Structure 1
């Protein structure tokens, strides 16, 4: 689950696997796998970072280690 903020300021948790698409239209619009659209205050980059952190926490995404020259 990732924590997001609706445009009215209400915080909520969203199951990251339900996210199909994230766009800035100009508000950040999240399209879910069932076609429902959510509008949030966070930027698309922040949504992506939160989803990636979720997948790392549950072991579905590897941890990348930067080396000199990257």
Structure 2
């Protein structure tokens, strides 16, 4: 799960395993496998870093 910020400033938590694709137009659009789309403030690079950090925490067993 990663935290993202919508264009309205609200913070959301999404399951990173359900991300199908990322687009930058200029804000980022996250498309999930169920077809839902989210416009967020974070760049694609920031989203990818968050996913990698989350996966790293899972693999080392640090889920605090």
TM-score, with structure 2 as normaliser = 0.88
Look up the SS of the partner of 2:59 in the other structure: coil
CA RMSD in angstroms, aligned pairs only: 1.2
**Corresponding position of 1:53:** 53
Name which one, 1 or 2, has greater alpha-carbon Rg. Answer: 1
The size of the alignment, in residue pairs, is 60
Q: Which has the higher contact order (CA 8 A, sep 6+)?
A: 2
- Alignment partner of 1:35: what SS? coil
Q: Which runs of 4+ in 1 moved over 4 A?
A: none
Q: Which residue of 1 aligns with 2:25?
A: 25
Unpaired runs of at least 5, structure 2: none
- Flag the structure with higher helix content: 2
Following the alignment from structure 1 to structure 2, what is the Cα–Cα distance between the partners of residues 19 and 37?
A: 10
